Amino acid sequence: MERYREIIPDWASFWEALERPLPIVIRTNTLRIEPQTLKRRLEAKGFDLQPLSWDGTCFLVHGETPVGNTLEHWLGYYYVQEASQLLPVKALGPKPGERILDLCASPGGKTTQCAQYMEDQGVLIANDNSAKRIQALLANVYRLGIKCVVVTEAAGENFPGPGNFDRVLVDAPCSGEGVARKFPHLRCGASLGTVSRLSTLQQRLLVRALELVRPGGAVVYSTCTLAPEENEEVVKHVLDQGLAELVPWEPPVPHDRGLSRFGEKVYGPELQGAVRIYPHHFDSEGGFIAVLRRPR
Catalogue the active-site residues. Answer: 224
Closest by Cα among 209, 106, 232 to 156: 209
Contact 115, 101 (CB under 8 A): no
Residue type, position 278, single letter = Y
Burial of 145 (0-12, 13-18, 19+ CB in 10 A): middle
Secondary structure (3-state) at 135: helix
Residue 150: how many other CB atoms lie within 10 Å? 11
